[in-house]
A = this chain, B = another copy of it.
């Protein structure tokens, strides 16, 4: 295997061997069953110290406050802007997220997409010395390339907002909008004179895309079961278990963030879930392949231009 030029940012060892073994095996699988589902935050790109989507909405909030200082007085926004962790926890992420989503209510999908892309074009990571758009994981980009070469249908299955991830998925991952499965906000269809248009609402369409909802939403939105599931948190457990338990060959891949030097070291537990067992132990018990960022990745981030 040492001469294999695939996956150059993956260090030789059992993890890379497991990946290459899977890639060799799937050539016998009918193309319509070659479906791969990747979590986004912490799996395809960095999620620390904060989710990029939160950075985006804080940017939107900053602009809204610049236009009208009164906006800053809303309970959820006051807590966020003061950074009062206790108050933020007391309010809860769902309430704060919906308040932030409300900042974009009533605008068109095209304008929202343009806002996300404008943010990504200028946002830099708070700690890592690089643009946010370059905090994707180089080894994962190489894995996506190998899967594409094998005609896989690649999907990004995110707990984040579907439209937020759709605005960047083609550009960063080569994944078109219809293959992003996330937390959906519904639209209002405005049709006063026979010429319908869409504006963002603040109504959730279905469930927040975490845990068992990821399995249900993959089924309703993609209509196919993955044979490769890739994730990093407790919110990915059901998706990985479901992918893993399908007709062989299958692979469940879990990223362990154990690299404080090059990225961040933290336990793979979704903050919003109260599961007592670390997800890495679930992975080992289930025979999944655990990716140690520190040990298995020769390079973490893509080269800067």
Contacts and interface: CB of A to CB of B under 8 A. Distances in A.
A250 interface: no
Contact of A189 (B186, B191, B215): B215
Contacts of A198: 215-216, 219
Interface stretch (A18-26, A51-59, A130-138, A176-184): A176-184
A272 interface: no
A178 B196 contact: no
Interface string A182-222: 00101111010011111000000110000011011001111
A15 interface: no
A196 B244 CA distance: 10
A289 interface: no
Contacts of A176: 32, 153
Interface in A118-177: 153, 155, 162-163, 166, 170, 176-177
A220 B177 contact: no
A302 interface: no
A219 B32 CA distance: 24
A197 B110 CA distance: 36
Chain copies in complex: 2
Contact of A162 (B223, B237, B242): B223
Given A215-B196, A241-B196, A222 B191 contact: no
A178 B110 CA distance: 22
A283 to B, nearest CB: 12
A14 interface: no
A298 interface: no
A180 to B, nearest CB: 7
Contacts of A155: 178
Contacts of A170: 32
A238 interface: yes
A109 B176 CA distance: 24
Interface in A252-275: none
A189 B218 CA distance: 11
A7 B301 CA distance: 48
23 contacts: A32-B176, A109-B225, A162-B223, A166-B223, A177-B223, A178-B178, A178-B224, A184-B220, A186-B216, A187-B220, A189-B215, A189-B238, A191-B238, A194-B241, A194-B282, A195-B241, A195-B242, A195-B245, A196-B212, A196-B242, A198-B215, A205-B206, A205-B220
Interface of A: 32, 109-110, 153, 155, 162-163, 166, 170, 176-180, 184, 186-189, 191, 194-198, 205-206, 212-213, 215-216, 219-225, 237-238, 241-242, 245, 282, 286
Given A178-B221, A178-B223, 13 more contacts: A109-B223, A153-B178, A177-B223, A178-B224, A186-B220, A187-B220, A191-B238, A194-B282, A194-B286, A195-B241, A195-B242, A196-B212, A196-B241
